[in-house]
Amino acid sequence: MEITRDKERHKALKRRCRKIRTRMVTRGKEYNSTYKPKTLRESPNKIRINKSLQQIVKLIANQGSGPWPTADLTALDRPLLELIRILDKKEKADQAMFSALDGFGKIDSVLKTILDCTEQRPCVLPAKSLGFSGRVLLGSCRNNIDNCRHVLYSNLVGTLIDYLIQRMNSLVNESTRMGSNNSINSVVNLPSDAAAGAIFEVLAEVIQVLYQEDLLPAASTQDQAIKDRADASWQRLQDVVSYCVSVGLVDKVSWYFSHVQGPLDNEAGVVEVILAAMRLVSALAKTLSMR
């Protein structure tokens, strides 16, 4: 009887997941069909940003289906690190230029290789390069409400969740292969993942900024324009929270946390994943508290 109930719950969750994902995709397409970047003030780093993005596009276009050669990985990391250096300064003009040059789409073309990974077929890009890609997105969204809205409204947020659940599934599988018996009392040398850590950070930043800049102001004003903006963001954020739960991301985070045993002084990668995941969970909880 218990097994039957679990199966029914699992089926219901999958149906709900598909329904939410379809709604997110539809809204994203509607937004993208009319999206136009804002008029920009010129960025002093426009040439550097554009050059870095074009180098990334060229490298992606020239790759086959197998793992990248070492020389090409080095060539990919170079423009990614250049973008990180520029965007980490949090200059609004640089962040806006990154968006106007379709930086989100171009970095997504790197991250989407995650979805081609299976247990039998490793990802063609190493976690380090994927982590750098996530850090580029993080830099573009830091304290930038326009870019955070774009990530939410275009449904890049849903795509990032798909990438993240794929990486978390891989971490769970890897931990199992390392000897875990899936008991919360088992001591496991947890694997870490730079890509997962970075994507957790991006999602947390986007949701936190939207909470701070869209949802909170609406709670203390009668300005209808502010309230309308908050409602538009809230509808989408509600789907984000529901999708994180129904796709199993929250369960995977819980599993990862429960398998931490003892100090992590020499496990910097694991600590990064844990702290980033905690930040995302906190942002999701804050968002839910607004309704």
* Claim to verify: residue 259 and residue 189 sit in the same structural domain: yes
* Claim to verify: residue 220 and residue 242 sit in the same structural domain: yes
* Claim to verify: residue 76 and residue 112 sit in the same structural domain: yes
* Claim to verify: residue 113 and residue 94 sit in the same structural domain: yes
Interatomic CA distance for residues 158 and 143, integer angstroms: 20
Of 113, 142, 171, the residue at which a domain comes to its end is 142
* Claim to verify: residue 24 and residue 158 sit in the same structural domain: yes
- The average pLDDT across 76-101 equals 96
pLDDT digits (tens, 9 = 90+) for 236-250: 999 999 999 999 999
* Claim to verify: residue 5 and residue 91 sit in the same structural domain: no
* Claim to verify: residue 216 and residue 251 sit in the same structural domain: yes
* Claim to verify: residue 130 and residue 58 sit in the same structural domain: yes
- Provide the number of structural domains found in the chain: 2
* Claim to verify: residue 127 and residue 151 sit in the same structural domain: no
pTM > 0.75 = yes
Of 80, 114, 142, the residue at which a domain comes to its end is 142
Of 142, 167, 198, the residue at which a domain comes to its end is 142
* Claim to verify: residue 99 and residue 185 sit in the same structural domain: no
Residues 84-107, buried b or exposed e (16+ Cβ, 10 A)?
bebbeeeeeebbbbbbbbebbebb
Smallest Cα–Cα separation from 74: which of 57, 59, 88?
A: 59
* Claim to verify: residue 45 and residue 133 sit in the same structural domain: yes
Q: Which domain holds residue 83?
A: 38-142
Using alpha carbons only, how large is the chain's radius of gyration in Å? 20
Smallest Cα–Cα separation from 274: which of 256, 252, 247, 291?
A: 256
Q: Which of 31-45, 191-205, 222-236 has the lowest mean pLDDT?
A: 31-45
Higher pLDDT residue, 7 or 61? 61
* Claim to verify: residue 109 and residue 3 sit in the same structural domain: no
